[in-house]
Structures are given as C-alpha cells and as structure tokens.
Amino acid sequence: MTDRKPVHLAVYDTLADWETGHATAHLARAGYRIRTVGPSTDPVTSIGGLRIQPDTALDDVRPEDSSLLILPGAGLWDTGDDLGPFARKARAFLDAGVPVAAICGATAGLAREGLLDDRDHTSAVSFYLAATGYAGGERYVETDAVTDANLVTAGPTEPVAFAREILRLLEVYEGEVLDAWYRLFHDSDAAAYAVLEKAGAA
C-alpha cells in the first residue's frame, strides 16, 4: 500500500467541511496518503472556521503524481473565478486519465469549464448547473452520485454516496463489502457491520 500515489484534496476559503470526510478517512485507512492542495501554501479557512495549512500549492500538483483529485464545494465557486484554476487542473487530470471527484459547488466549476458537457453527472439540482450556461443538461442524472469513466459528481447532501463512488472507483471496496459500507454509514444499518468485520473492513 505504501507505493500508492497520494490523493489530492483541494482546500480553499469557504470550503464545505462536511463533504469529503467519509472519503478521505476511508482512503487513508486503505493506505492512501491525503495531501491538501491550496491556491498557494498560505492557510485557508473552511466554512466551519477550520484553519487549514495546505501541503502544497495547486501549480505544483501534476496528474502523474496523483491517484485522485477531490474538489469540495465552497461559496467561492459561485462568486467569481477565484477557483477557476482548480477546474482547469481537473481538466488536466481528466485529460491524463487520472480521476477527479467533485461535489456541490465544485460541479458548477466543472460545468463552467465544459467538463460536464459530454459526461453523465449530477449535482444539487439540475437548474443550479443550468445557471452556469453549460451545454451538458441532457447528461444530468437525478441520483445521489454519478461516476462516468474517471469523473465522480455528487450534490452537497450526499457525502456518503460521494465517498461510495470514490471507494468503488479506486477499488478500495467492491461488491457486497461496498454495499455494506454504504448501508452502515448512510442508513445506520447495524447488520452491515458484520459484513465489514468479516471482510476486515470494519
């Protein structure tokens, strides 16, 4: 597990704290190093007031050195182009065949970048993305989370489904174990714990 490339988690002011915790916690448990990526290495502050010191700056991140780029939501996605460089970095990742996972406002950033025009995707609601003027409305799917090739998307109320798709994409859990993981954390299904324990995933 030590030879796995790290997962890069984007961090920026107003980021939504609650959206990526399930994914990063279970990726870390599976042996992935989580590296935070900011606009620079200056500290950022989440919407919940958490002060985060990025491990590295966005300009220094290369797709070939990463297993995945995770883009959380943030108020800044909807107030200008401050986070546009993160959407452009997502394009570089996808062009290189490296997965990207975007949730909440980050999906609007990808829509503005044209990355959802030709891929199945979801978000908070369809009209939220339609307001970006993107051309991918016909590919919008009304569901909790969507994976199309190397791109995962989800809305802000679905952090567990978002994590499920990431864990599936990186083959951390599969089949019955992945289903049990989702039932435990999304539905509080205590019976699912026994499946995870048997698989050594509890």
Is the pLDDT at 95 greater than 80, yes or no? yes
Contact 146, 154 (CB under 8 A): yes
- 89 given a catalytic annotation: no
pLDDT at site 173: 96
Contact 10, 67 (CB under 8 A): no
- Section 42-71 average pLDDT: 98
What is the pTM (predicted TM-score) of this model? 0.96
Residue among 104, 152, 167, 196 flagged as catalytic: 104
CA distances, 46 to each of 38, 100, 115, 126, 129 (Å): 12, 21, 25, 26, 23
- For helices 105-112 and 84-95, angle between their N-to-C axes, nearest 10 degrees: 70
Is the pLDDT at 200 greater than 90, yes or no? no
pLDDT at site 146: 98
Question: Residue 65 contacts by C-beta under 8 Å, 6 or more apart in sequence?
Answer: 5, 6
Is the pLDDT at 202 greater than 90, yes or no? no
